[in-house]
Amino acid sequence: MKRQCVDGALDAAHPGLCFHREVLTYLRWSAIRRDFLEALQASPHLRFIEPKKLWRHSQEALGKWVLSQLARDTRGDRDAASSVSFFPTRAMLSSGTYDEQLIRDVSLKCESSGTPTVVAKIKQLIASFNLSKRCEDAAAEVLQELESASPSIYCTPSLRIIDAAEVGNRTGSQRRVHGAIAEISVRQPKHARHGCPPVSIPLAAYKKLEMCYKHFAEKTDGERYPRLDYGNRFLLRAATIALRYEGCLATGSLQLCADISLKQHLHAAGYHVMDLCASPINAYMGSPKTGSYNNNEDSSLEGEKVPNHFCSAFPDTDCYFGSLGSALKFDVEAAYNSPVVNPEKKPLLLTLDVPYDEDLCERLFSKLVNDMQQAASKMMIANEKQLPPPFVVDYVLVLPLWWDLPMERKKLLFTTSGGPPLSSDEEEASMDAIFKERSAVLNNGYTVPYEWPQRLAKTAGKSWVCFDGIFVGDSYNYFCTITNKWIPGVTATEVIGLAQPRATADGGQLLETLFASFYGTQQA
């Protein structure tokens, strides 16, 4: 099985090498996570609110730390796309690593989280732990091992399907999954010092990956690696994805999907719907279907039948399943005019679903503000020249209700799943208290500065925003792709529709009309 290029260098894209590299990465990242947990537990100055959950909390915080570094990748698009390391390195980050969000995430789990003493101790611990150097060393070790190892001793994946009715032999995490499970284990060489635990995803998610792989990569992968049969090629690619997201990253934001029925509703109305904050497992790939608010009972994974592009943090593993790369480098106009991405030149409906930490929100929504300003400017030039719009794009934002977004549109308050918004009198009595309670989260612990809510509201003005809904209690359901279940009451949620200002003939009122029909509201 050839794993080298013509010049003798390693073929970094070879399915077998990619999987072996991911196993090595997983093992080293797991060691870093264990060391970090031990450092937190050993600190005499930090007392944690939920010490029994510290493993999960620290693991998620480190996953978010990785995403923050990827968001600061200063390389050109081509270099970034060819990157094969999960670990942030100096080659990626010309200004060093960003630790502020990690400091905040750890502080929120501590007693007396906002006191200067606690924050100072957390900063000291993180500085002395030196994640940057540990990641640099781990990346170098992985590369050295790849270059010195014979392909004949590379790790390989094995797949076991656990039937939906087979409950007794499931692990604790597997019991949370509805339906059948695809469990991916790692066959390692006999001399391996550390075993690699299996990872599991719903079988429906595994089938979704296969649908995407067949559409986006089967032909080119087959031509490039003819010695590998289709079954082995796909298993290697899918197993690499499972290890990356469920093994290495292990952060909940990329397991949740916002209301799929709204996306299907917009899809049915003629939009090309794409997610900008996604993974191959949770990206929208549903069929167009006219629907209504919270009319969702079936598994979203099992209903996704349409391969679709999306943006994600890891193009090195995700490109075989439709990823266009980072949302922070996404070119809206190029995507709209691309015969590959948008062959029918439909209006784009881009979603930003549940990015939940302050750092990533600041970067994603600052990019959105810039894109909106460019769209408005180009539309104005086209109007002056009496030309059609150079591109058509609308947005749906789905956010935890932590930020006070001062949009120039009346907010509608939903308190009952599937029900209409409250009347004006009831709404006014509740809204202020809700915002005060929810926004207090951002003032707890070590605070990270952000400016995007005001910038977004100012840019949107009255011309962009066409819907602003607040959902509290169990009124908004998320779908969890790792458990294959709908989850009510995850968090209070704000849903915002942003429609590019354009003439009615160019679909200027389309998004507002569709929101009104979906949520049963009167247009303002």
Return the number of other C-beta atoms located less than 10 Å from residue 356's C-beta.
17
Q: Are 248 and 21 in contact (CB under 8 A)?
A: no
Three-state secondary structure call for residue 48: strand
Residue 400: DSSP 8-state: E
Cβ atoms within 10 A of the Cβ of 76, count?
A: 9
Give the pLDDT confidence score for residue 524 in this predicted structure: 46
DSSP symbols for 159-200: EEEE-TT--TT--TTGGGS-S-EEEEEEE--TT-SS----EE
Domains of the chain, by residue range, sit at 13-146, 155-194+196-237, 258-517
Closest CA to 293 of 469, 423, 498: 469
- Residue 506: closest CA among 396, 355, 408, 387: 387
User: Nearest CA to 471 among 420, 426, 518?
Assistant: 420
CA angle, residues 379, 503, 405, in degrees to nearest 5? 75
Q: Are strands 477-480 and 256-257 parallel, antiparallel or unpaired?
A: antiparallel
Q: State the residue for tokens 């170098």.
A: 140
Strands of the 199-202 sheet, one edge to the other: 156-162, 181-187, 199-202
Q: According to the model, what pLDDT value does residue 250 have?
A: 82
Please give the sequence-ordered ranges of beta strands (E in DSSP) within 199-336, or none if there are none.
Answer: 199-202, 256-257, 272-275
* Tokens 């030149």 belong to residue: 345
Return d(Cα 445, Cα 448) in angstroms, integer.
9
Contact 369, 457 (CB under 8 A): no
Q: In what order do the strands lie in the sheet with 477-480?
A: 256-257, 477-480, 485-488
User: What pLDDT, on a 0 to 100 scale, did the predictor assign at position 6?
Assistant: 45
Which tokens in the block code for residue 256? 């949740």
Q: How far apart are CA 417 and CA 204, in angstroms?
A: 26
DSSP string, 441-483: GGGSSS-----HHHHHHHHHTTTSEEEEEEE-TTSSEEEETTT
| Contact (CB, 8 A) for 156 and 19 | yes
Q: Residue 61: is it exposed, middle or buried by C-beta count within 10 angstroms (0-12/13-18/19+)?
A: buried
Alpha-carbon gap, residue 296 to 264, rounded angstroms: 11
Q: Which two tokens stand for residue 100?
A: 């502020």
DSSP type of residue 491: S
Number of Cα atoms under 13 Å in the Cβ half of residue 480: 14
SS3 252: helix
- Please answer whether residues 269 and 291 qualify as being in contact, where contact means their C-beta atoms are separated by less than 8 angstroms: no
Q: Token digits for 261?
A: 């029925």
What is the spatial distance between Cα 433 and Cα 485, in angstroms, rounded to a whole number?
A: 31
The owner of tokens 């400091």 is: 103
Question: What is the per-residue pLDDT for 95?
Answer: 80
**What contacts 24+ positions apart, CB below 8 Å, involve 447-450?**
447/104, 447/114, 448/100, 448/101, 448/104, 448/358, 448/359, 448/362, 450/358, 450/361, 450/362
Cα dihedral 273, 276, 277, 283 in deg (nearest 10): 40
* Helix H or strand E encompassing 393: strand 393-400
User: Mean pLDDT, 10 residues at a time, over the chain (524 residues)?
Assistant: 54 95 96 98 96 95 94 70 74 87 96 92 97 95 92 94 92 92 92 84 96 97 96 98 93 77 94 95 93 73 91 94 95 97 96 84 95 93 89 94 89 81 68 78 88 96 95 87 86 93 82 94 61
DSSP state of 347: P
Structure tokens at 205: 């998610």
